[in-house]
Structure 1
Amino acid sequence: MDRRTLLTLLAVGAAQALTSCSGEPATPRPSAAGGPRPIAAPVPAPGRTTGNPASALHVGPTTQPAIPPIPPIPPAQPGSPSVVFGAPAPTRRIAITIDDGYSPETVAGYVEFARRSAIPITFAPNGAYRAIWDRHADTLRPLIEAGQVQIANHTWTHLNLLGRPDDAIRADIDRNEEWIEQTFGIASRPWFRPPYGAHNAHVDALVGELGFTRILLWNGSFGDSTLISPEQLMELARRYLQPGTIMIGHANHQTILGLFDQIQQLIADRKLEPVTLDTMFQTSRAVG
């Protein structure tokens, strides 16, 4: 549940469909797996765990009320998936979603930005980069408990799913889910973002059988799946940070690191309300 309503009402124009992880349109079409991505050496998938016990947050000399514990990880709830591009209804809410994570500096920057700004963010990391993400688990878990940070499944390898054998797709998603649950203490279901936005009816049905009934696309982008300049990134931020946007970014290049304050100020100036996907769509980690 979102506990940080940051801002007040103001309508701004509607956002448009954008470029994907591979630089292709958000309405995906079959494509190659995109440019080279460093893939970590295989690591045996860890076992699943249940949630954390309740804990209290200490701020200075005072103690805040205990945050409810992360719910026990529920079993998968197979179903017919729906494809999500933007907010379900007119709203001033936005969802900032950050994928991948092969830049240690950029992952660290995003985690620190989430911690200090209290802005809700949904991360969609690949377990192939677990050596980078694992070092931030202790910081992220309290934010996940508080409902400020959410984790979505983006596969372990970030390989294009189109044309891959069904067993390979299932293994890729399951391995990432096991890592997410073991590392962050929470299920990522029902949220699944296909690498490069590439999906079709067959892929959707398969991931739905695994309990991923929300196929996460986007209608706004920082454009940083490849290296761009700060000026280019801020131009896209100004264009697409609008009411109802699901914004995609990538923790792969360091351009964003000098721009967090400008992004936060833009959100404030436009009276936008960042939320997690759970808050925007009334989904729940307790249900999965």
Structure 2
Amino acid sequence: MDRREFLAGLAVAGAGVLSACTTVSTPTPTSSARSGPALSGPLAGPLPHKVPLPDKTITRLPGLGNSFALTVDDGASSEVVRAYAAFARETGARFTFFVTGKYDSWRDNRDVLAPLVESGQIQLGNHTWTHPDLTSLAPQEVAQELQRNKEFLRNTFGVDGTPFYRPPYGFHNDEVDRVAADLGYTVPTLWYGSLSDSGVVTEQFLISAIRHYFLPQAIVIGHANHDPVTHVYQHFVNAIRDRHLQMVTLDDYFANPAPTPQRKRW
């Protein structure tokens, strides 16, 4: 399903792999069209009973159940961020964006995203300002990356992403986690499976990853960087419905206590 068909469907219905993230330009819309069913909601039902917030790195949702957390990183493409937002509106899908604030997509789509963020359907987490390997930086530089992005999230969307942060490339260590925790980011959030679409991949590759990783209690990582993922949303829908998965944000699943005051030890 290409984006034109996806958007047409909206009008009709409602009128373990590490993947390095790269800076890309906004893709050019495809002119091809393929037939297929229109997307329709909802994908989300009653929210699960919340579990205690972990104090360690997470790669999956703890416990038993059919919850499923789709997390989407970066935001190099305004068009793809916009398509994800449209997908959420049409289907009721709930997911977590891990925002890299340097990308214009978040400002470009602020008015589209803000109501979804305010309602809690889309959650925002901290993925740093410029997407560096945090383990290669001095503690003060780590703090600057997270703090600048924290302020951007608060000023743009009224949230700051705490307590969840995703270290770029999945690279973190005790020192990075200590600095992050001092800023309120106490839960390094990795993943169980990846769409591996930080760079350009084929639609068939994405379909295979969906079949492999869309599982109960999984945290799956994708990227809002390149056009192909916008062609396979129907496969998202099919896997989630066929496997009776319940889409959740991280805030839906975890009981998040009141934030602790920010401390500076770096």
Q: Do residues 184 (structure 1) and 184 (structure 2) align?
A: no
- Verify: 1:124 aligned to 2:110, yes or no: no
Q: Deviations over 1:158-181 (max 9, x none)?
A: 010112111111011000000001
Q: Which amino acid aligns with 2:203?
A: P
Q: Secondary structure at the match of 2:210?
A: helix
Q: CA deviation at 1:132?
A: 1.5
Taking only aligned residues, the RMSD between alpha carbons, in angstroms, comes to 1.7
Unaligned runs of 5+ in 2: 1-15, 26-53, 261-266
* CA-to-aligned-CA distance 1:197-234 (integer Å, 9 cap, x gap): 00011111111111111100000111212211101111
Task: State how 1:269-280 maps to structure 2 within 5 Å.
Answer: 269-280=242-253
Asked whether the equivalents of residues 81 and 205 of structure 1 are also in contact (C-alpha less than 8 Å), the reply is no
Match of 1:85 in 2: 59
| CA contact 1:162–1:203 (8 Å) conserved in 2 | yes
Output the CA distance in 2 between the equivalents of 1:206 and 1:21: 24
Whole-Å separation in 2 of the counterparts to 1:207 and 1:287: 13
Task: Tell me which residue corresponds to 1:209.
Answer: 182
| Unmatched runs of 5 consecutive residues or more in structure 1 | 1-17, 23-33, 40-79
Aligned partner of 1:57 in structure 2 is none
The residue type equivalent to 2:78 in the other structure is P
AA aligned opposite 2:111: D
Letter in 1 for 2:218: T
Q: TM-score, normalised by structure 2?
A: 0.78
DSSP-derived class of the 1:202 partner: helix
1:241 aligned partner: 214
The sequence identity of aligned pairs, in percent, is 36
Q: Which residue of 2 aligns with 1:21?
A: 19
- Does residue 167 of structure 1 match 2:165? no
Per-residue deviation at 1:148?
Answer: 0.8
Structure 1 residue 104: deviation in Å? 2.0
Query: 1:114–1:233: structure 2 CA closer, same or farther, 3 Å change rule?
Result: same
CA distance in 2, matches of 1:171, 1:147: 27
Structure 1 stretches of 4+ moved >6 Å = none
Using the alignment, how far apart are the partners of 1:134 and 1:81 within structure 2? 32
Structure 1 residue matching 2:86: 3-state secondary structure: helix
Q: 1:98 aligns with which of 72, 79, 99?
A: 72
Distance in 1 between residues matched to 2:146 and 2:120, nearest whole Å: 23
* Kept in 2: contact 1:102–1:252 (CA 8 A): yes
Q: What does residue 141 of structure 1 align with? A: 114
TM-score by length of 1: 0.72
